């Protein structure tokens, strides 16, 4: 047994399920970078599509079971905390997905095996494979096991994301809203890298990078926030004296 075969066996041990359809499992674990999109290579993108829907169903039914009287708006807010690529990537790591994935050498070299986005997609593909191979109960069992910690943290206060913090900071100083501009997009389609510049009136632009445009904007906002304790821009009103 080679290292990857051992990793797949460990994955099945952790999730408590042995696949009857080995080809289905292999497809769920195959990233689109393998074969550079060749039609002969069956990768996991279509399974991601199905897995996302199954994940949403499992999360929705669990939320309704936990609080039958919860309003739709509150459940939608909680759903957003449960169904996102950060939560999926945490579940993927706990299940042992990173070592079991099939990736191209180039994708591995640039760190795709550690990428939250890649792992999140693979997690959704695995959920779809469980649904197809073992039915909804198998997918639900995976969800309940690997989302248990997400539910424990569900009602904890959550820090606002950097873009929201930066917007509120600018508004508090009577400044225009931050402006985000795409500087560059590099890398292959399956592992892009975005560079975003954010500008706040009176301050030098700051840049951030990420695997998605949204992540790059958050990184740029965070860089700007790190410098928010500097002197106010020329012409801005002094917050303490009102001068």
Cβ(8)–Cβ(29) under 8 Å?
yes
229 is in an annotated binding site: no
- Helices 136-146 and 45-66: crossing angle, nearest 10°? 70
Choosing from 5, 72, 124, 133, the catalytic residue is 124
Cβ(161)–Cβ(77) under 8 Å?
no
Q: ∠40-43-48 over CA atoms, to 5°?
A: 150
159 is in an annotated binding site: no
> Among this protein's residues, is 52 annotated catalytic?
yes
124 is in an annotated binding site: yes
Query: Up-side HSE of residue 27: CA atoms within 13 Å toward CB?
Result: 21
Cβ(217)–Cβ(224) under 8 Å?
no
Choosing from 12, 26, 45, 52, the catalytic residue is 52
List, as residue ranges, the binding site.
48, 121, 124
List, as residue ranges, the binding site for Mg(2+).
48, 121, 124
Residues forming the active site:
52, 124
């Amino acid at each position: 047994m080679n290292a990857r075969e051992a990793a797949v066996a460990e994955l099945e041990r952790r999730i408590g399920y042995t696949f009857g359809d080995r080809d289905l499992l292999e497809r769920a674990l195959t990233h689109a970078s393998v074969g550079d999109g060749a039609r002969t290579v069956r990768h996991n993108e279509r399974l991601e599509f199905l897995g996302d829907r199954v994940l949403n169903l499992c999360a929705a039914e669990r939320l309704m079971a936990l609080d039958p009287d919860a309003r739709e708006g509150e459940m939608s807010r909680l759903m957003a905390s449960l169904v996102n690529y950060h939560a999926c990537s945490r579940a993927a790591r706990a299940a042992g997905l990173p070592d079991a994935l099939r990736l191209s050498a180039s994708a591995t070299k640039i760190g795709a095996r550690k990428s939250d986005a890649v792992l999140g997609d693979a997690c959704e593909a695995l959920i779809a494979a469980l649904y197809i191979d073992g039915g909804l109960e198998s997918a639900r069992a995976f969800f309940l096991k690997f989302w248990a910690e997400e539910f424990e943290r569900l009602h904890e206060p959550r820090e606002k994301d950097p873009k929201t913090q930066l917007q509120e900071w600018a508004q508090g100083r009577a400044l225009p809203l931050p402006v985000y501009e795409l500087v560059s997009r590099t890398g292959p389609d399956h592992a892009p890298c975005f560079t975003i510049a954010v500008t706040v009136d009176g301050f030098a632009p700051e840049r951030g990078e990420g695997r998605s445009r949204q992540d790059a904007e958050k990184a740029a906002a965070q860089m700007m926030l790190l410098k928010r304790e500097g002197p106010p821009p020329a012409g801005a009103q002094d917050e303490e004296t009102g001068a």
